[in-house]
Amino acid sequence: MNTQAILKRILLWSAILAGLVAVIGGIVGFAVAGTAGLLGAVVGTAVAALFGALTALSILLAIKVSGGDMFSGAFFGIVLGGWLVKFIAFIALIFVIRDADWINPIAAFVSIVAAVVGSLIVDLVVIARSRQPIIEDDRPDESTLGRPAGQR
């Protein structure tokens, strides 16, 4: 499985997780705090899902632009630029919704934490099951064994 397939699988499972967190958080939020709780849970989940997706999408874009060279300046520039955009957007979003009366901040916080922790678990499970090699196999093949180094 290559890196792009791994990231696409992470995006799929993260979207499923976000849907589950939004539904469960929305039900609990509505039961505890009414419509504000429902909206808080949905907004919190959407924020966490969006930021998680932006990370995977920026890496996919960086791989495409850099031609698969993960040590190029383009790759690092795109990924770090994506993180900077997310940081600025998160700060701006906090200032916009911190005093909003239409959401419950506790429901939003719990949903964000649940979605972020869940997405970390999704990342861990998908990567652990991907069987992606981390070391290149530089051993000579069997046809060159026993020959002097100059004749390989």
Tell me the residue range of the domain where 58 lies: 3-131
pLDDT in tens, 89-146: 888 888 888 788 899 989 988 998 999 899 889 988 988 888 766 666 666 566 655 5
E strands, 1-152, are none
Residue 7 lies inside a defined structural domain of this protein = yes
What is the C-alpha separation between 24 and 55, in angstroms, rounded? 24
| In contact, 44 and 107? CB cutoff 8 Å | yes
Considering the domain boundaries, does residue 136 fall inside one?
A: no
Residue whose C-alpha is closest to residue 122's, from 67, 78, 56: 56
Can you tell me the mean pLDDT for 43-68?
Answer: 89
Residue 149 CA to residue 152 CA, distance in Å, equals: 6
Task: Find out whether 100 and 94 touch, Cβ atoms under 8 Å.
Answer: no
Q: Kindly state whether residue 27 falls inside one of the protein's structural domains.
A: yes
Length of the chain in terms of residues written: 152
* pLDDT at residue 56, rounded to an integer: 86
In the chain, the number of structural domains is: 1
Q: Where does the pLDDT of residue 55 fall: very low under 50, low under 70, confident under 90, or very high at 90 and above?
A: confident
pLDDT at 152: 54
- Amino acid at position 21, single letter: V
- In Å, what is the CA distance from 147 to each residue of 56, 85, 140? 46, 55, 11
How does DSSP classify residue 130?
S
Q: Is the pLDDT of residue 16 over 90?
A: yes
Among 36, 12, 42, 10, which residue's Cα sits nearest to residue 24? 42
**Which pLDDT value is given to residue 38?**
95
Q: Does 148 reside within a domain?
A: no
The answer as to whether 80 is a domain residue is yes
Give the per-residue pLDDT at 94.
81
Per-residue pLDDT reduced to its tens digit, 63-89: 899 888 878 899 889 989 998 998 898
Strand (E) or helix (H) holding 95: helix 73-97
Residue 143 maps to a domain:
no
Looking at residue 128, its pLDDT comes to 85
Does the residue 147 lie in any domain? Answer: no
Residue 105 identity: P
Q: Is 138 within the bounds of a domain?
A: no
